[in-house]
Structure 1
Amino acid sequence: MKATILVVVIVLVLLVLSYFYTNITYIRKPLDKMYKAGFVEKKIKLKDGTVLSYGEGPNNGKTPLLLIHGRGVTWEDYAKILPGLSKYYHVYAVDVHGHGESDRNPKKYTAKAISEDLTEFIKVVIDGKTVISGHSSGGMIAAWIAAHSPDLVLGTVIEDSPFVSTKLGRRENTYAWVYSFQLYENFKRQKKERDYFSYELKLSYWKKIFGDFLWKKFSKDAIAFRKKYPNKPVHLFYLPPNINRMFESVTYPYDRKFGEAFYDNSWFQDYNQEEVLSKIKSPTIFIKATTRYDGELLLAALSDQDADKVVNLLENGKKINIEAGHDIHYEKPQKFHKIMMNF
């Protein structure tokens, strides 16, 4: 009997230790594997002086693939899938303007300006035709490049990008608008709280999910972590990765003025969504995450009807539905990898 109890205790201790180890290392381990696979961070200065940071995988002679991340993160957000993709592609993943180590120039915070710079990146760095994949706002950039430089694009993968739902009159009922763009504008208009991360946590949507008691504890510890490690993405040792992702994804190096361009709609200057989609000639896959609502508030990037409209506008398009949150490549790396491998 005592031996059985001892075994049970040991197993429980090992499970607890494994749980905390996973929580502590879930960011570092994919990065370690990525760099071990041969990825190197580089920088390129474009002809107008703009500096872009990017990661490049092994020069294996395979088809080039350019990855464009979404708002608020960096090229390393793709770390989970990069080693696998590098077996089939010569991979490039860029820091979009205002993110990571790339230049912070608000004059460049439009989809068109970014797309034009990345078109130059393809010509100068990749130096040939490429498959291009973008997540969220990055997918809208990928779409613009595919539409306006068809001679440079072999195929396009658009990962849960907010087409249609970002239009005036629709955007106001989306999670991104209420709990990001509008929230930051409200923060700028008040004087009581000077730290946006603290302000954001107090009014977070997730407070209603976890309740006041737990959210107060999470917030207190997250703020303490931020103060102690200001240059690290926030993650708490006692929370699993899927919950820590809430804190991590909003604490990467990021120029808030990039988000302001969505609020005042300047990001979409000279960007007609229907026109861009209808001009894409390359084979195109639109990956759609699960659609969820809270009342009339759209918690997804776009609705199922919006996604259908996107695919109908594409000349050679296909939609793939994945049961996942918005960050499909992060939450379902194997499924994303399979899509890219078969593309």
Structure 2
Amino acid sequence: MTTSATPARTTAQQLLAGLRIAAATVAGAVLLTASLPRKLEIHAPLAPQLVAYGVLVALLGAEIVGIVQRRDWNRARLPMLVLVLGASALSTWSLAPEYLLTSTDWSFGSSGWLGVVLLFGRPLPELATFLALNLAITVTRVLAVHGANLDILLGLTAGAVGTVGFPLACGIASTVVRRIADSAEQASARAAEIRTAEAVATGLFEARETRLARLDIGVEQLLRGLASGELDPEDPEVRRSCDLEAARMRRFLAEADDADDADDRLLYELRQGADVAERRNVLVEFERAGRWPTPPDDARPALADGILAGLTAARRRARVSVIGIGPRLSVSVTADGGNWAPPLRTHPSVSHIVVSTEDQTWIESTWTDEPRSPSSTTTPSPEGA
């Protein structure tokens, strides 16, 4: 059993939907209060009037169905408008001449509102053109029967005020309201973008503050130990710890670097870490292969940490590899310093493998799009490894 959720509409879409319902309501009220149902006996012949009335009612019913189903009659709009004009012509040209421009001429004022309904959301000139064509049907019939005398022209002018002026004014109001709704929607979207940007900036700031606090703890412990004499600067482990903290600090500074060539932040940060090793006269080879999606910001430190640790362990040579296969990104380092398994940062989607022998250390960190339990494996030095 499947369920489908109707997508939520924006404020502008809800407003326009309300306007569409209002236009259909007005058109329905005009049709229901038309004089035809009350004056059936004076229409002769009656059949053309009933056919024209039935066509307009059917078209209004189709519009109501479209409103309920949230459909627009894009492809059927032109045929429907032709049917409206055809029904108007059928009613006008089958009406007795003495009833033209009177209340009995029901189609003169009803068909224009159907045009407002069917052309809702379309450019205003299209509605004006339709109303002009609808008016031309009546004008042609009246002039053909009564001629162009002053009384007839005044009657046509007075009738045009209601049959053209009111529907056209409704179309103008709808256009203005639609523009206001669009402007309000754009302003709301811009405000949402600003709020999102502020939230992202706040999150980045807090994340950097957290990383800086962790960095301060490591550096402070080293400095206190060196100052108190608890740590010996000549001790290789102390030197490695100092190099590692220096690499971590450089990586942290690289995150805020806006260099133009730093398109891939991870690669850029790894190169910054390699620079620390090269300053110790370590030869660093950097290799990359494949393509990979951009890791999230919170996973990048865990990916880079293993490489920085391996570079720190290096004595004379290190090789860094970055390999991407589909959603999987693997970064590894092979260094000629051994017997060192440093603690590495963890992340739900990053796993670590550490293999350390007497002469060599290999660290691999792997990230995938799917979250996984963090793991860190240290393999003891096997014989002949």
Q: How would you bin the TM-score normalised by the shorter chain?
A: under 0.3
- Name the larger-Rg structure: 2
Normalised by the length of structure 1, the TM-score is: 0.24
More helix by share: 2
Normalised by the length of structure 2, the TM-score is: 0.22
